[in-house]
């Protein structure tokens, strides 16, 4: 039986390092007014980081700002558990939707996100202006209505 613990953490830098190891992009520049609200980590004892998720706010909207699961633990349900935790938190804050820039859109579609059409969320993300867009990075902007 898989045993892990999901808990809130203030280890933002540790989560960013973990997420960049799996290809997420954090350039360190805050061009869109990102405010980190809460972070959660998934650990296996004693403190083996297995997953993490970051909730941020930008311009009055909630953002799933990063999520990653260690490769051997993928398809174990940890990602869905973390997204559910984030959704619960946004609902407690009376949020109406959650946005994200997805590198794995198939996963996010399975948990209820849909692709944003047009330029609805351009003010929240710098993806279209990024020099990597279309070459090494092709994220899809997605949202979940709550």
Return the percentage of the chain with pLDDT > 70, whole number.
84
Report the number of secondary-structure helices (H) and strands (E) in the chain: 3, 7
Query: 82 near 70, Cβ under 8 Å?
Result: no
Query: 109 near 123, Cβ under 8 Å?
Result: no
pLDDT tens-digit series, residues 23-73: 887 755 555 568 999 999 999 877 899 999 999 999 999 999 999 999 989
| String of DSSP letters for 107-132 | HHHHTT-EEPPTTTTTTT--GGG-TT
Q: What spatial distance separates the first Cα and last Cα of the chain, rounded to whole Å? A: 32
Global confidence as pTM: 0.88
What is the CATH architecture assignment of 5-145?
Answer: 3-Layer(aba) Sandwich (3.40)
Query: What are the boundaries of each domain within the chain?
Result: 5-145
Mean pLDDT of 125-134: 51
The pLDDT assigned to 57 comes to 95
Comparing 3 with 11, the larger pLDDT belongs to 11
What is the biggest distance separating any 2 CA atoms in the chain, rounded to whole angstroms? 45
The pLDDT assigned to 29 comes to 53
């Amino acid at each position: 039986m898989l045993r892990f613990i999901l808990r809130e953490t203030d280890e933002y830098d540790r989560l960013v390092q973990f997420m960049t190891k799996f290809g997420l992009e954090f350039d360190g520049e805050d061009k869109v007014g990102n405010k980190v609200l809460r972070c959660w980590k998934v650990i296996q004892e004693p403190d083996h980081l297995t997953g993490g998720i970051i909730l941020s706010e930008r311009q009055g909207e909630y953002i799933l700002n990063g999520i990653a699961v260690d490769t051997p633990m993928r398809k174990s349900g940890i990602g869905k558990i973390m997204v559910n935790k984030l959704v619960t938190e946004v609902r407690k804050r009376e949020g109406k939707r959650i946005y994200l820039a997805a590198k794995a859109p198939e996963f996010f579609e399975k948990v209820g996100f849909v692709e944003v059409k047009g330029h609805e969320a351009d003010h929240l993300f710098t993806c279209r202006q990024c020099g990597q867009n279309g070459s090494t990075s092709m994220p899809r902007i997605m949202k979940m209505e709550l």
